[in-house]
Amino acid sequence: MQSNKRPETMERITTKALADAFIQEQIADVRQQVGNKKVLLALSGGVDSSVVAALLIKAIGKQLVCVHV
């Protein structure tokens, strides 16, 4: 009979861990592409542009300039 118990050394990969890793990868990519330049983002107020704004704030902070359209 096989046990369903996981080995002690096996890490549990969660959806949150995968999402966090993806976000950190995107932040690093944005920082590399932007450098010390500014970014202008047109915000519509919808979910998509709001999520992009949140990610850009984490990545580049005050280098982001948002305009509501």
4-17 pLDDT, tens per residue? 666 665 667 789 98
* Neighbouring residues of 28: CB distance < 8 A, sequence distance ≥ 6: none
Within 10 angstroms of residue 22's Cβ, the number of other Cβ atoms is 10
pTM above 0.85, yes or no: no
pLDDT for res 6: 62
- The larger pLDDT score, comparing residue 9 to residue 56, is at 56
* 9-53 pLDDT per residue, tens: 566 778 998 999 999 999 999 999 999 999 999 999 899 999 999
* Neighbouring residues of 48: CB distance < 8 A, sequence distance ≥ 6: none
Residue 37 DSSP one-character state: -
